[in-house]
Amino acid sequence: MNILVVQESNWLTRNPHQQHHLMERLAARGHSVRVIDYDIDWKKGNGNGLSCPRTVYGNVHKIFPDVSIKVIRPRSLRVPLLEYPTLFVTHRKEIKRQIREFKPDVIIGFGILNAWTAARLARSSKIPFIYYWIDALDTLIPEKVFQVLGRILEKQTLRNSVKVIAINKTLREYAITLGADPQSTVLIGAGIDLKRFNPAIDGSTIRSAYGIAKDDTVLFFMGWLYRFSGLNEVALELARSPDRFPALKLLVVGDGDALPDLQRIRDENHLGDKIILTGKQPYEKVPEFIAAGDICILPADPREKIMQDIVPIKMYEYMALGKPVITTGLPGIMREFGKGNGVLYVDTPEMVPETAYTLATNGSIKNCGSSARMYVQNLDWDTITDTFEQTITGG
């Protein structure tokens, strides 16, 4: 079948998310996949000029080298606030073009504005539209004034969807409160490549490369470094108590807004050997970096609205490698994993080092890690893809 995906994020540069894993696996099964995306990172200096022409990227893959997905990026205007009406016009034009030329059997939306447009066009063209929720998208809109508008558009899109898929229980409930039909709103959780992410992977080469001793306890984080990620607080706590946590080290893989702050904390406190910042790393190296850690962390500010309902895919990757995870008490995380299962909750990011120190000193790391692996061992991507394929094909 022909599958058209619309999203308002950069398909090419962002780390593999749920949609990358699913679409590449569906393409490997013989389905034809096209993606309409948007360079959401243009404000961070990606590209020059006030506008970017329509661009088509062929043979795109992020996970499987033999998979080919076509990504179409409609013309965009790189002017704050004016970007949205331009996106509406150019994405509407592109969606109509793809309906005419590609003749999709189903359209799957991951965004807000272009999903709203796609749902309306799909309905008029008698094409099933499926709304896939991996985030509470309205909370991610940087301009607060547009978040209310975002919720209005989400509500209308939910009504125009033949099915709604949510990645976790909390997001499913949120979609229903916005008007999604409970009978057609299904839960398909995140998957994990259990062969790529497994406890047998050796992280000793990474540890050696970054000067990490065998008896050091490494706190590991990967992903985009938001300022609300809680990493600054963890780093400052390590700086305040170097004698209390002499064997604790923080290994951070990724780039983002918080990176300059972390670099400053590291340099001002002379913690070059304790706060290790690697920058963004190739996806194929990620399992080895996780393996280099002892305890994985997700210390996001629990008050941050964006983090209330999501369950980042990195949680499953951490756990698949047999790593315990220390996280703040985020509602979506707590609802998804409950107590135990290798996940430990703290009230604030500052409490992460103390909790990690306790795990290390009482010898609980290995047992907690085994519990984490056991929790995710039935969430293989092949099984998730089977369920997703049946859902979108009506099987």
- What ranges do the domains of the chain cover? 2-191+380-393, 204-376
User: In the predicted model, is pLDDT for residue 276 greater than 80?
Assistant: yes
Say if strands 76-77 and 51-52 run parallel, antiparallel, or are unpaired: antiparallel
User: In the predicted model, is pLDDT for residue 304 greater than 90?
Assistant: no
The pLDDT, as a whole number, for residue 395 is 54
User: In the predicted model, is pLDDT for residue 51 greater than 80?
Assistant: yes
Q: Same fold for the domain at 2-191+380-393 and the one at 204-376?
A: yes
CATH code reported for the domain at 2-191+380-393 = 3.40.50.2000
User: In the predicted model, is pLDDT for residue 302 greater than 90?
Assistant: no
Per-residue model confidence as pLDDT tens digits over 106-157: 999 998 899 999 999 999 999 999 999 887 777 766 667 778 888 889 999 9
User: In the predicted model, is pLDDT for residue 325 greater than 70?
Assistant: yes
Q: How far apart are CA 46 and CA 130, in angstroms?
A: 31
Q: What is the 3-state secondary structure (H, E, C) of 345-380?
A: EECCHHHHHHHHHHHHHCCCHHHHHHHHHHHHCCCE
- The CATH superfamily of 204-376 is Glycogen Phosphorylase B; (3.40.50.2000)
**Mean pLDDT, all residues of the chain:** 91
Distances (CA, A) of 165 to 179, 183, 258: 14, 11, 32
Q: What is the pTM of this model?
A: 0.77
State which of 42-51, 170-179, 301-310 shows the largest mean pLDDT.
170-179
The residues with which 221 forms a beta bridge, in sequence order, are: 252
Average pLDDT rounded to a whole number, residues 262-270: 95
